[in-house]
Structure 1
Amino acid sequence: MIVLHGYRLVYVRTRKTASTSLEIALSRLAGPDDIVTALSPRDEALRREAGGRPPQNHFHPGLVPGPGPVAQGIAGRVRFHNHMPARHIRAELGDQWDRYVTFTVERSPYDKVTSLYFHQYRDPSDRPPIDYFIETGEFADALNWPLYTDTGSRVIVDHVLRDEALDDGFDQLVAAGLPDLDLPRAKAHFRPPHSHYRDVLTSAARRAIEAVYAPEFEMHGYTW
């Protein structure tokens, strides 16, 4: 997640939605007082290459971090962390949340699960069948609904952009004062090219996804 005070903008990071690319791009706009949360070591290297700001202002006040990385979400140490739910960010920011433009990105659950499958099992020689991935429950790790809703399942961000139409979504943010962004595709190489979810997901996998991701289907109207 990122908070850009100068632009009065809060980005709530979701899973499997080009979030690393977007966070790297937004960190290029960050000033010294803005909040930038930590990425993985590999992605931090990509951020450095892209000229983005490293993690900053994400610890609780007064904490001086050591030289090593700190795991995300450790109580009492990390105040803001990656994939932090919007309701927790709102609690930390107080009235700034209401005064800032808040946004996140969502993507078809079919596509998210397919992307997560190839990300988890990158070696084709060691990749289990998709139905095994479903049976383990790992496929539910891309459920983003709890990240941008409150405990009553109400969406609490101003904008939910579509990963499939990010350019159109960014027009809304540009109108709110954000500069145009050049997005690096940080993790696109994990998924084989031309691997459409319809060619990967079985009937059983489709039914499981539609059950677990039901709120996202209902809210955003994604179809097969």
Structure 2
Amino acid sequence: MLVMHDVGLIFVRTRKTAGTSVEIALSRHASQRDIITSLSPRDEALRAREGGRAPQHHLRPGHTTPGPQPVPPGPGPGVRYYNHMPAAEIREQLGPHTYHRYLTVCLERSPYEKVVSLYFHRHRTTPRIPIEEFIDTGEFRDALNWPLYTDHSGTVMVDQIIRHEHLQAGLDALTARTGLPTLTLPRAKAQFRPPGVTYRDLLTPAARKAVEEAYAAEFAYHHYTW
């Protein structure tokens, strides 16, 4: 999650949507007063290599990083802003006036694609558990982004949702609107999924049904189809 005060941009980071890559790209253009949340140690190392600005202004007043490494991603003691922070919480912390004055943006992707991406991210080496077992554990729901950019009533709280299948076009429109330079994305997590594997190859009829039920709100709003 980033808040870029000079640009007037809030990036609400969603799951399995290339959010890490976009956040790293945006952090290259962040200023000293912007809010940047922590990534995993592996992704922070990539951010440093890519010339991105390190986490800053994400802790509560009086709290400091306990060691040389950034605070782990996610909510925790002393953390005010974190990586997958829902828009409703961001608005509460920033204040409604600031939140609604800035351009708020997030990314979204077909739930089928997100579930398969999550499967390969969680199970990176062979032999992998069957996809049916992954579904049965309930882990496949961890890529649900709907609660991150909607309020308790299901009202969308961001100004722009960039769809993953049109990612570069969406980012180009964003940079044109904000005056940011063209964003060049690093490949943060693309290597986990074997080349050429599609969700149609992997999801069984039962798995497909489970995904469609768990992600019903996203399917309905974004009109994703099989």
Which category describes the TM-score, using the shorter chain as reference length? over 0.9
Q: CA deviation at 1:210?
A: 0.2
Indicate the residue corresponding to 2:202 in structure 1.
200
Q: TM-score, normalised by structure 2?
A: 0.96
Indicate the residue corresponding to 2:29 in structure 1.
29
Q: TM-score, normalised by structure 1?
A: 0.96
Indicate the residue corresponding to 1:52 in structure 2.
52
- Greater than 6 Å deviation, 4+ residue runs: none
| Residue type at the aligned position of 1:170 | L
Indicate the residue corresponding to 1:98 in structure 2.
100
Q: CA deviation at 1:64?
A: 2.3
Cα offsets for 1:109-164 (capped at 9, x unmatched)? 00000010011111112x01100000010000000000000011100000010011
SS at 1:124 equivalent? coil
CA distance in 1, matches of 2:181, 2:3: 15
| Residue type at the aligned position of 2:117 | S
Pairing 1:101-112 to 2, within 5 Å after superposition: 101-112=103-114
Give yes or no for contact 2:3–2:36 (8 Å, CA) kept in 1.
yes
Runs (5+) with no aligned partner, structure 2: none
Runs (5+) with no aligned partner, structure 1: none
Q: CA deviation at 1:180?
A: 1.2
Task: Give the root-mean-square deviation of aligned CA atoms.
Answer: 1.0
| Residue type at the aligned position of 1:48 | A
| Residue type at the aligned position of 2:47 | R
| Residue type at the aligned position of 1:129 | P
Indicate the residue corresponding to 1:79 in structure 2.
80
Number of residue-to-residue matches in the alignment: 222
Q: CA deviation at 1:69?
A: 4.3
Task: Calculate percent identity across the aligned residue pairs.
Answer: 58
Pairing 1:2-151 to 2, within 5 Å after superposition: 2-67=2-67, 68-71=69-72, 72-75=74-77, 77-94=78-95, 95-125=97-127, 127-151=128-152
SS at 2:141 equivalent? helix
Give yes or no for contact 2:172–2:183 (8 Å, CA) kept in 1.
no
Indicate the residue corresponding to 1:160 in structure 2.
161
